[in-house]
Each structure stands twice: as C-alpha cells, then as structure tokens.
Chains A and B, each alone.
Chain A
Amino acid sequence: MSTKNSIFAILALAIFFNVSCASRSADQTSPHEDTDRFETYNRAMFKFNYQVDRYVLKPIAKGYRAITTQYMRERVNNALANVKEPISAFNHILQGEMKLAGINLSRLAINTTLGLAGMYDVAGGWGLAKEKTSFDDTLAKWCIKDGPYIVLPFIGPATPRSTVGLVVDSVTNPVYLATLDAPAGTRDKIGYGYTAISVIALRESGLDLLDDLERNSVDFYTTMRSAFMQNRRNKGCINDDATAASYDFDFGYEEEEQIFDEMEAQ
C-alpha cells in the first residue's frame, strides 16, 4: 500500500466513523444489553472468516506449533513485540504519557542490543515492564467513540475505531517505515513476510483459548462479539471521572428461593 493510498483509506474510515459516531452518541446502551446493528452482514462475514481460519490459518498455526518449541515461540513473540515498541512510544506521546514513552524507548534500546534483536526481554528483568499501547488506545483516550461492531474480511472482529487504529499502527510500524525507500520487490518480501509471521504467531497464541471458547459456546459468533466488545470498554477517556467499571451492571435478584430450595431437596 502506498502512503497516498493509506492516507485515503484512513480518511475514508474516519469519515465513516464520525458519521456512525454522531448517530450513536445519543443512545448510550447499558453494557449487557448489547446491540449489533449489522448482525446479518456480520454473521455472514464471520462464517467466511471461520472457514478461512479452519482450512488455512489454523492448520498453519498448528503446524507452526508442531515444529517449534515453547522456547522458540517465546523468542519469536518477544522479537515481534520489540519491533512494535516504537508504535507504543509514539502513542504514549500522543496520550501525554511521556514516562511510559520513555520506558518503551528504553526497552527498545536495551532489548534490541542486549536482548539480541528483541528475542530476550532483558529490560523486563530490570524492572522495565512492558507497556503496550496502540493508536486505538490513543483515540479512546481522546474520547473518540468506538462505533458499532463490524466483522472485517480476514481480519475479524473490529469497530470503526479499532480499524482506524489498525491502519495507523501499520503505517507507523518500523518495518513499514524502514522499507519505504526500498525497491518494490524487496519491500513486498519484507512486508508480507513480517505480516505472515505476525499473523501465524498471533493465531498460535490463541489456539487453546479459541478452541475452549468454541467448545463451550452455543453461539460462537455472539460469544466472540460479546467478549470483543467488552474487552474494549474501560479504555479510559481523559474526560471521564474514575467512574464505575463497565462490568458493574445492575446485578439484582428476582428472588425465587422456593425453586432453589426444591432443587436442593432433589
């Protein structure tokens, strides 16, 4: 993707996103009464992604797990995370979190050198714990609304805000920036290679969790949507007071003790 194209993509999304924000701001729904305005489309796209995952991505992730050890995968995950430290630093600056940005940059410097290209988290051992953030978090801090749930082809669960976040994160990714001036062939090789490794490593790390969720679910689509949207709440906006947590819904009782007494007697 050329820079020009990506800027257009961001603009287009931002416009779509603002429109959907404006229409949404009025209806503040309670956390457990969830809405899914694009459900028909979303379910169809979910089905498509599920098949792609089932026949392509998941087998590759399983193969990757089979030919590597836990130790090797940790090195890969650490190295991939290390490459993304500048994204976190950039966004921490945008969020006004200078100290955290400093931690990101120190971790990058230490782990890239002493940690052998980021394979070992030396800085973590020194008390500089990982502080990950993204452009999506920045938008949340700036109090930009999330918008409705949408399932993107190949990418999966998303919202307009998370999509803008994803695009900005990928064009601020050091791998992308470093290869901007490289010949097209080289740039593509590095870009696709990096993306492929990232996706496979990410899928591998989610293998057990997603299998577990699917096995115990009666409606996997809704489980995924619900978990995805809940996980995105509580990304604090700076204007918010420290109000109650998003999961503090009204958890009352309908009080039907009689039934339960009978059940226990059975």
Chain B
Amino acid sequence: MKKNIFAAIFASLLMISGAAQAAADASKAEAFVEKVTKEGIEDIINANVSQSVKDQRFEKLFNEALDLNFIGQFVLGRYWRTATKQQKIDFIKAYRELNIKTWSQRFDEFKGKKFIFKGTSPSNSANQVFVNSLVPMDQGEPAKVVWRVKQNGDKFKIVDIIIENVSLAITARNEYTAFIKSAPGGVDDLIKNLQNKTK
C-alpha cells in the first residue's frame, strides 16, 4: 500500500516536471511580445523617418519576431508533405513577402494606439503559450489580440496572431488548401497567385 502511494507521488512529480519542461516561459514570452509591439510602434509607426526606412525596419522586425517557416508549413496543410523542395522554398518566400507587405500596411492603422497586455494562457502544444492583449479602438469595444508564442531555448518567436478569435494561421490554411484543391496547377498556381499580389 505504502509503495503504491510512493509510486503515485513519484509519478505525479514526474508529470509535473514533465509539464514544466514542455511549457514555455510565460512571463518571458509576454515581455517578448511587449518588446516587439513597442519597437514596432515607437521605432516604425511613430518614427520620423522616410517610408523606405520604415519599410526596411518593419521587414527586419517582422523576420525577427515571426517564425514564417513554421507558420508556412502549417498553412500549406496536407499539401506540404507532397510539395517538392523547390515548391516549399518558393511558397515560403512568396508567403513571407505577401505577409510583410500586408502587415506593414495594416500596422499603420495602429498609429496612436497601444497594446494593453493581459497576461498569458497556456497552450496544449509543447513550448507554446498565448499572450493576451487588448487594443483600445477609437470607437466601440477594444479589440482582443492574442499572440501565440513558441519558445526554442531562450529564443521566442510569434507563430500565430489571433484577432477576435480569428487565427491568421487557420484562416490562411483554410484559404490556401481550398484554393489548391480547385486550382488546376495546384501548389504552383498558389505560389503564382501570391507572387502576383506582391508585384
């Protein structure tokens, strides 16, 4: 009997330490997102520099803060597995360029706004955590923005942005897999379409 209790305690300890290992460092993740948004607002949106400098800074911040390779894999869904190496490379490149373009435009709308951070929530995926934030709007209720952050050693990367429950990764995945399914040229057509949007 005693042995059983010990076994149970031992097992639960193992589980706890296992869970702790798999969970991302929540407070560091939050600090990371806070730093990224602060840098974006102060050094890019509000900075008194030319648009081309702003674009360069944005691209750098974007590539440092987001793990587009990781997101791109998820977004292509089951087609990732069957894509050729060249298609994978071309897709990630086109996807990255489109995102940099769209987000630098969208980011401008955050002029004069700020993020209020509201702590973190755990994720079921290993080494990931959700950082919760609110953006007060000029009109109506504040927008709920959640950042999915992945930890790799002491490095953090954003892997999804969820605005009002709408995950950008899921939306893109639904959209791209639907497109590929009906496109005669499959993944190649998608890549071409994405490239055309950034021309």
Contact = CB atoms under 8 A, between A and B. Distances in A.
A248 B165 CA distance: 10
B81 interface: yes
Interface in A209-237: 212, 215-219, 221-223, 225-227, 230-234
B5 interface: no
B193 A251 contact: no
A251 B197 contact: no
Contacts of A246: 165
B174 A247 contact: no
**Which size class do B's interface residues fall under?**
35 or more
Interface string A71-95: 0001001000100000000000000
A32 interface: yes
Given A230-B166, A231-B166, A247-B162, A222 B175 contact: yes
Contacts of A216: 98, 102, 197
B179 A251 contact: no
A232 B166 CA distance: 9
A262 B125 contact: no
A212 B165 contact: no
B165 A233 contact: yes
A254 B80 contact: yes
Given A218-B179, A259-B88, A252 B125 contact: yes
Given A74-B139, A248-B123, A31 B170 contact: yes
Given A217-B175, A219-B175, A222-B175, A248 B170 contact: no
Contacts of B170: 31-32, 226, 230, 247, 249
B167 A247 contact: yes
B154 interface: no
B178 A227 contact: no
Nearest to B93: A263
Question: 4 closest A-B pairs (Cβ-Cβ)?
Answer: A226-B174, A222-B178, A247-B167, A32-B170
Interface of B: 69-70, 73-74, 80-81, 85, 88-89, 92-93, 98, 102, 105-106, 109, 121-125, 128, 130, 138-141, 146, 148, 150, 159-160, 162, 164-167, 169-171, 173-176, 178-179, 190, 193-194, 197
